[in-house]
Structure 1
Amino acid sequence: MSNASSFRLLSACWAVAAVVVLACAPAGARVVEVAWTPGAAEGQGPATREQARVAAFRDAALAEAMDLLPGALSAPRQELLRHYLLPRAAGYVQSYSEAAPQGPALAAPEGATVLRLDVTVNRPALKKALQRMGVYYTVHAGRDYDLALEGGAGGALDELARLQELSGFTVRRGAQPLVTLSANLDAGTWSGRLEQDGQTWAAQGSALADVWFELLGHYFSRPGAEAGVVAQVALTVRGWSAADGVKAFDAELGAWDGLVEGRVLTRVLLLPEGVAGVWTVRTLSPDALARRLAQVLPSRGLTWEGPGAQAP
């Protein structure tokens, strides 16, 4: 079966399966309902309890991925990400258990059984995977790169086009980085190298996607890779009655996945109007961070200086 056919089949299977995410609390835990029908024909949804369990894992992982990303993906990129995660989702599941019904149950087809699972996803590992794929850093703006194909690599242009779109990369001659891909058709292996500013990284594997994402993993983890992608902003929050409030908010900031890439609490100030905390925050979207601050701080009687702050 061709790569394109496999992709269409996986997409069709996903569309047919009745899978619903009902809740998410705490972070990483999602309640998922999956309807499965014993003896269902191929392509008509899960036919066994085990297939329903796998479908629940896949849906939980995809929902967490969408939540982790710092913005909304286009529909085609969502579908490509779904396709990539399908066979790998179980690797991101930390634990699962059957969940008691809460509220209206999934409307299952006649003869179907509903499996309801509470699935906990390893969010840090999934976030690293999204970064390694490049999709995490290209939600808002894509990247140019140059491409060279060697050996039998030209026979995989369709798959390469999908990988480019998922990762947010567009070929532009003379751009950096330069990615060179080569296929050994006899051995069934792929190799590649990525060159950027005089540095070179290499990768080998049995699948083009594995080589592609390994190269991008090197690219996005190199020193200076976040320049132009991650902004560093100053944030001062005032109004706590005790220093414990600063400590609690520092932990809360660290849990804002998709908004805060890192933060450093640089000072705690004792002011006449209360205790204040001063942070240096790294974020992919200062505007989105500003919206979150505006949502949570005023109701707590807190004021701030930094992203989205109103002038006094």
Structure 2
Amino acid sequence: MRTLRYVILAAVLFCLLSGVAGAGEVQVFKPADEEVSTMELRQRAMAEGFALAVLQEAQTMLGTPLDEARGEAFKQYMLTQARQYIQGYKILSSKVSGEGVALALDVRVNRKLLREGLKSMGLFAAEAGPLTASISWPEGVPEETVVGLQQLMTLTGIRQGVDVLPSFTLEPGPKDAFKARLEMDKQEFVAIDKDLRVLWFKLWSKYFNRDEGTVARSGVQTLSVDGWFAPDAVLEFDGVLRAWESAVQEARLVELDMQPSGVGGVWEVRLLNASRLDSLLKSYLPQRGLTYRLSEKDSK
């Protein structure tokens, strides 16, 4: 029994470590530009490769692909923000010619950090439908700034409303910088940044991460599954459950119950999307002769 326990612990540890980073190959080509040096062109290709890798991993974690407009907006944002999510990379091939620079990269993305980033950006919340908010800006704002705000609304899943909360107000700020105010639930936040996109998510992360402690506690449930014939099958499902990242933020195997009638497992699950998880469980477990129960943690 002790040997079995060590095997189980080792397998669970392997699942935990393998879930930290996601690897993917991307290919990028940047056409030659007389006004851009080869070194700069290569750096741009590298930045786009990282952005594509993060987008690719985000699509997997969200469960449903972003539409073309949101995907492009996400990639453009990640051109300057992707490196914080990159755990490592390998250059598979690099070719410089008169036509441009071609790169093939194998990129490892830190899934834990990316999951937190997607939550702060409102992309998990957007799955439940658009968020109605009031977005305003002063007269005389350059057209490119207005277009930038509209693209950020598209990316974040925000629909324009009138006299509603939350409200985001772009205000006159210091020279060469943006200033904005976010109002919500009797709270108000102000931020200043030279990059409109950074400013936007700096404020909206306050909204999407609000009451995180309360949300986390209420979002933890207990999943019990029975009907397996061997412990290996429980560990296999443990990996499947962790991979359902559009529904589950965290899953931890806390009990392995071995009875003469079969093997059962109990997980503590932190939810992102309860209905999505229920749908995945119904499509996966019954056809394998397994039964499950999902309940609030510590409920009897």
* TM-score of the aligned structures, taking structure 1 as reference length: 0.69
**Which residue is equivalent to 1:181?**
170
User: Does the alignment pair 1:86 with 2:79?
Assistant: yes
2:126 is paired with a residue of what secondary structure?
Answer: coil
Out of 55, 67, 71, the position equivalent to 1:74 is 67
CA distance in 2, matches of 1:130, 1:159: 19
**Which residue is equivalent to 2:183?**
195
User: Residue type of the partner of 1:30?
Assistant: G
CA distance in 2, matches of 1:46, 1:171: 42
Q: Is the 8 A contact 1:153 1:181 kept in 2?
A: no
User: Does the alignment pair 1:165 with 2:154?
Assistant: yes
Q: Which has the higher helix share?
A: 2
Closer, same or farther in 2 for the Cα pair 1:306/1:212, shift >3 Å?
same
Deviation per residue, 1:224-249 (Å, 9 max, x gap): 7997xx97766321133566765664
**Which residue is equivalent to 2:113?**
125
Deviation per residue, 1:143-201 (Å, 9 max, x gap): 011234358658632221111111111121232212232132x5222222222221222
Q: Is the 8 A contact 1:219 1:225 kept in 2?
A: no
1:222 is paired with a residue of what secondary structure?
Answer: coil
Aligned runs of 1:128-277 on 2, under 5 Å?
128-150=116-138, 156-184=145-173, 187-223=175-211, 235-241=223-229, 246=234, 249-250=237-238, 252-263=240-251, 268-277=256-265
Root-mean-square deviation (CA, aligned residues, Å) is 4.0
1:139 is paired with a residue of what secondary structure?
Answer: helix
User: Residue type of the partner of 1:174?
Assistant: D
Out of 303, 307, 312, the position equivalent to 2:290 is 303
**Which residue is equivalent to 1:22?**
none
CA distance in 2, matches of 1:125, 1:26: 9
Deviation per residue, 1:256-286 (Å, 9 max, x gap): 3222123465765444422222345444444
1:188 is paired with a residue of what secondary structure?
Answer: coil
Identity of aligned residues (%): 30
User: Does the alignment pair 1:29 with 2:23?
Assistant: yes
CA distance in 1, matches of 2:285, 2:195: 48
CA distance in 2, matches of 1:212, 1:34: 28
Aligned residues: 270
Gaps of 5+ in 2: 1-18, 295-300
Larger relative CO (CA 8 A, sep 6+): 1 or 2? 2
* TM-score of the aligned structures, taking structure 2 as reference length: 0.71
Q: Is the 8 A contact 1:145 1:175 kept in 2?
A: yes
Closer, same or farther in 2 for the Cα pair 1:298/1:110, shift >3 Å?
farther
Closer, same or farther in 2 for the Cα pair 1:175/1:127, shift >3 Å?
same
User: Residue type of the partner of 1:304?
Assistant: T
What's the CA shift for 1:66?
1.6
1:128 is paired with a residue of what secondary structure?
Answer: helix
Q: Is the 8 A contact 1:239 1:303 kept in 2?
A: yes
User: Residue type of the partner of 2:27?
Assistant: E
Closer, same or farther in 2 for the Cα pair 1:51/1:224, shift >3 Å?
closer
CA distance in 1, matches of 2:76, 2:64: 19
Q: Is the 8 A contact 1:233 1:306 kept in 2?
A: no
Q: Is the 8 A contact 2:179 2:193 kept in 1?
A: yes
What's the CA shift for 1:60?
1.4
User: Residue type of the partner of 1:31?
Assistant: E
Gaps of 5+ in 1: 1-24, 101-107, 308-312
CA distance in 2, matches of 1:154, 1:51: 26
Deviation per residue, 1:274-309 (Å, 9 max, x gap): 22223454444445435544665568x5513258xx
CA distance in 1, matches of 2:30, 2:146: 36
2:190 is paired with a residue of what secondary structure?
Answer: strand
Closer, same or farther in 2 for the Cα pair 1:116/1:158, shift >3 Å?
closer
What's the CA shift for 1:67?
1.6
CA distance in 2, matches of 1:147, 1:225: 28
What's the CA shift for 1:116?
3.0
